[in-house]
Amino acid sequence: MKRKFSLCLAAVVAAGALLPLTSCKKETVEYLNVFNAEEYISEFDEEGGTLDVIAEFEKYASKERGHTVKVKYSTFGTLENMYNELQLTKRKSGNGYTYSYDLVCPSDYMIQRMIKEDMLEKFDVDEAGKYEKVGNYNDYASPFITDLFEGKGWNEYAVGYMWGTMGFIYNPEVLAENNSEFAAAIKGVENQKELVKKYEDFVATWELPWNSYYKNLGTIKDSIRDTYALAVGYVYRDALKKLNALYTDAEVHDPTKITVEEYRDILVKIFNNVDSNLVEDVKSLDEVKKYENEEGTQRAIEIVRQAQEALKGETTVKAAERELKTLKTNVYGFEVDSGKKDMAAGKIAINFAWSGDAAYTLDLADEDDGATLYYAVPKEGSNIWFDAWVMPKGANKDLAQMFVNFLSDPEIAISNMDYIGYVSPIAGDDVFDYICDADNYDLTTEPDADHTEMLDYTYFFSNISDDKKTDGKVIVYSNVKNIGRQLTVQYPTKDVVDRCAIMTAFNRNELKKVNAMWSDVKVGNLPLWLLISVPAVIIFALLLWVTLAILKKHGIKIRLPRRNYGTLISSERIK
């Protein structure tokens, strides 16, 4: 800038009075402040064929807007850190606050919290609920995702970015070595389809990390909400198994069963319960009220009642704390990101993980010629999560929506998925062709009863062209050796999605209790002698400081006796 100014000044001096005095026009630069999770957007990789999405957007937006557009891109480690950063940088404006970012990418429960706290701008939507400035999302997003967002009331405030499940990455070879029952069950089983089912009989359960056979072989997330869901799943595992056997997605109504919608609603109540009466929570569901005279609903309520009574007056959060303290003695440790490399390197054999991290870990192990790893979602039910773009109050809405629309282009969505391993809500023909590419997922068009598995993805890819469907359904055939691996990790089948619940935002009282629980689990109960001695030391130090101050005020100095160190002996080693 200084050099440019000097050149302009020299030109003016040289011209003197012969030329009119003109100013150097400053280039217009528009900035977009983006706050995203670490390693959560595509960067340029020539070998992998991925794009530098930020650079590509800057070029695109600069051309569209007729001036330079720059993205100021920042990252966060956890959602709690992200929320705290927003609070630290907020500014008073009118009746509320504005924030330092134009776009932020939180998860479902945090989005709900931000909506409740009036932190977000609304996206421009028309009367039909369609985005006015995010046309790519309207055109290509999976109806499964858009219907869910609209049903939860999120579509005005958020646009989906990635989604997935929570489950366990596992190394079956190591688990079999440590569990004779597991080893006996899979011994001699050569059919891959049958083998994976045997694996999942042992690992697709919340009980897995508590299993004493696998002491110090597993890690769990250093994340309050995700690990709380893990604990709740374990606390209510017996009830969840019974509920899973009770639901049906059959089109013919069966009064002895519960519907998929009712089942999911009950799962949401269970996995997000803290200290309320779970039976009353389930009874209050609107969906349950529609079927309250039917046998299936009454059986579901009775299952929940028995589970609550089994706690013997203990709240869910207290039961979760108790079980997590037990789990803490059985696992290798807590982690946020290191579990991926530890799992691929064979340091651990169980990792509680988000599905995107699972896909990355499986790829990493394959590239290093490590063990063949698998991923399973607990059959008792789990968490289905969504990350989405939101605009904090005070955002540059026009540019922010342009960026989200850019990310929703199928080519950009595919590059993001390729680079980070997570799955975009963007579906449509291009993404379907991408997963059907044999180089990506080892699919085949020649089904074989013994060597392939038919997977129905109609629920997610219903918006693809009719000529890509089979009898109106979206069917693909995967080599059985890949079941439980990359494809089904990233694109779970409908039966897996059906048994997954969404996290909801805790109220302030619930949040306080869960945070206190987490603190007790992480730090543990301090021994009585330490609780007494620490305050005693502090009090003694304060008294000593006051005493010395008083003595100094009265001119009394305390001198320590000079210490005699003796004569220093010369040595070549002393430099």
Residue 458 near residue 473 (C-beta atoms within 8 A):
yes
Q: What confidence score (pLDDT) does residue 529 get? A: 47
Nearest to 316 by CA among 271, 269, 274, 270: 274
Residue 490 near residue 95 (C-beta atoms within 8 A):
no
Longest CA–CA span in the chain (Å) reads 99
CA neighbours closer than 13 Å in the CB half-sphere of residue 265: 21
**Cα 240 from chain centroid (whole Å):** 22
Residue 346 near residue 175 (C-beta atoms within 8 A):
no
Residue 86 tokens read as 């927003």
Q: What angle do CA 237, 458, 426 make, to 5 degrees?
A: 90
- DSSP conformation class of 162: E
Residue for token pair 């939180």: 106
Residue for token pair 């500014």: 91
SS3 content of the chain, % helix, strand, coil (to 5): 50, 15, 35
User: Nearest 5°: phi and psi at 14?
Assistant: -65, -40
pLDDT per residue as tens, the chain (575 positions): 333 333 343 443 344 444 444 445 678 999 999 999 999 999 999 888 899 999 999 999 999 999 999 999 999 988 999 999 999 999 998 888 999 999 999 999 999 999 999 999 999 999 988 999 999 999 999 999 999 888 888 999 999 999 999 999 999 999 999 999 999 999 999 888 899 999 999 999 999 999 999 999 999 999 899 999 999 999 999 999 999 999 998 888 889 999 998 999 999 999 999 999 999 999 988 777 777 678 999 999 999 999 999 999 999 999 999 999 999 999 999 998 899 999 999 999 999 999 999 999 999 999 988 899 999 999 999 999 999 999 999 999 999 999 999 999 999 999 999 999 899 999 999 999 999 987 888 888 888 877 889 999 999 999 999 999 999 999 999 988 889 999 999 999 999 999 999 999 999 999 999 999 999 999 864 444 444 555 666 777 777 767 766 766 666 665 544 444 344 333 333 32
CA distance 352 to 166: 7
Q: What confidence score (pLDDT) does residue 211 get? A: 97
Total-model pTM: 0.84
Following DSSP, what letter does each residue of 185-249 receive, concatenated?
HHTT---HHHHHHHHHHHHSSTTGGG-GGGTTSEEEES-HHHHHHHHHHHHTHHHHHHHHHHEE-
Burial of 217 (0-12, 13-18, 19+ CB in 10 A): buried
At residue 544, the 3 state secondary structure works out as helix
At residue 104, the 3 state secondary structure works out as strand
CA distance 258 to 217: 38
Spatial neighbors of 248 by CB under 8 A, at least 6 apart, are: 254, 257, 258, 259, 260
CA distance 499 to 244: 7
Nearest to 364 by CA among 82, 169, 230, 180: 169
CA distance 223 to 241: 25
Residue 547 tokens read as 């005493």
Residue 379 near residue 233 (C-beta atoms within 8 A):
no
CA neighbours closer than 13 Å in the CB half-sphere of residue 505: 18
Question: What is the rounded (10 degree) CA torsion for 152, 157, 159, 160?
Answer: -40
Spatial neighbors of 297 by CB under 8 A, at least 6 apart, are: 258, 262, 288, 291
CA distance 482 to 442: 8
Nearest to 425 by CA among 395, 398, 389, 400: 389
- DSSP conformation class of 426: B
At residue 333, the 3 state secondary structure works out as strand
Q: What confidence score (pLDDT) does residue 214 get? A: 97
Residue 66 tokens read as 């007729």
CA distance 205 to 492: 16
Residue 366 tokens read as 């394959």
Q: Which amino acid is at 188?
A: G
Nearest to 410 by CA among 425, 395, 399, 396: 425
Q: What confidence score (pLDDT) does residue 565 get? A: 36
Q: What confidence score (pLDDT) does residue 539 get? A: 74
Q: What confidence score (pLDDT) does residue 470 get? A: 93
